[in-house]
Amino acid sequence: MLTIRMFKYCAFIAGISILFSLSGCAWFSSEDTRPAHELARDGMDEYKGGNYTKAIETFERLKDWYPFSKYAILAELKIGDAYYKKEEYEDAVFAYEEFVSLHPRNEAAPYVMYQVGRCYFDQVDTVDRDQASAQKALESFKKLVERYPEDSYAKKALPHINACIKSLAGHDLYVGRFYFKNRYYKAALSRFISVLTDYPDIGLQQKALQYISICKAEIAREDDGSRQ
C-alpha cells in the first residue's frame, strides 16, 4: 500500500513539474497579466529613453498578447521606429511595409512611407559607390508623393528626391569619366547621354554635353582608323 501511495505521490509531483515547465511558471509572473495599455506605456517609456531593443521586445509582446487591441497598431508602428533608431534599416523597412500592408488607410501611412524612404536615403553613399540605396529611396519617396501629394510628409520628401536624383546623376557622370579616362569612349558616351536625358534639370548638362562631343569625335576617329 505504501509503495502505491509513494508511486501516486511521485507521479503527482512529476505532473506538477511538467506543468510548470510548460507554462514557464506563469502563475508567479506578473508580466503575463499586464494589460495592453501598460505594455504600450512601458514600450513608449523604453523608446523615449533610447532603450530601443527593450522597446522592441515590449511592443512585440504587446502584439503577441493583444493582437486585436488598439494598442497593437501603435506597437507595429513603434517597432519600425525603434529599428530605424538602431540603424537596423532592413528590419525597419520590413516593419514599416508590413504596417502599410495591414493598415493602408491608417492616418500614419504617409509617415510610414516617408520612413521607408528615409531608411534607404540614410544609406546613400558617395557618387563613386553603388547607388542602389539612392534608387530605392527615390522610388519610395516618389510613391509617397504620388499617393499623398498634399500631405506634409510628401512635401518633406521633395528635397530628398532632389538629393537622390543628384546622387544618381553624379554617379553616371563619375562612371562616364572613368570610362573616358580609360578610353572606353562608347561606354562613356552611354553614361554621359544618360546624364543628359535622365537628369536634365540637375545642373550637369553642360559637362555632359562637352564629354558627349569629345566622345563622339574620338569614336569617329577610331572608326576612321579601323577602316584604313
Report d(CA 31, CA 141) in Å as an integer. 40
Average pLDDT, the chain: 88
What distance separates the 2 farthest-apart alpha carbons in the chain?
115
More confident residue, 22 or 197: 197
The model's pLDDT over 45-62, given as tens digits with 9 standing for 90+, comes to: 999 999 999 999 999 999
The model's pLDDT over 89-125, given as tens digits with 9 standing for 90+, comes to: 999 999 999 999 999 999 999 999 999 999 999 999 9
Report d(CA 220, CA 34) in Å as an integer. 78
Confidence of residue 218 (pLDDT cuts 50, 70, 90): very high
Predicted confidence at residue 40, as pLDDT, reads 96
Phi, psi values for residue 30, rounded to 5°: -80, -15
The model's pLDDT over 165-200, given as tens digits with 9 standing for 90+, comes to: 999 999 999 999 999 999 999 999 999 999 999 998
Predicted confidence at residue 20, as pLDDT, reads 34
Provide CATH code, domain 35-106. 1.25.40.10
Could you tell me the sign of the dihedral formed by the alpha carbons of 55, 57, 58, 63, in that order? positive
Domain ranges of the chain: 35-106
Report d(CA 131, CA 108) in Å as an integer. 29
Predicted confidence at residue 7, as pLDDT, reads 43
**Cβ atoms of 80 and 112 closer than 8 Å:** yes
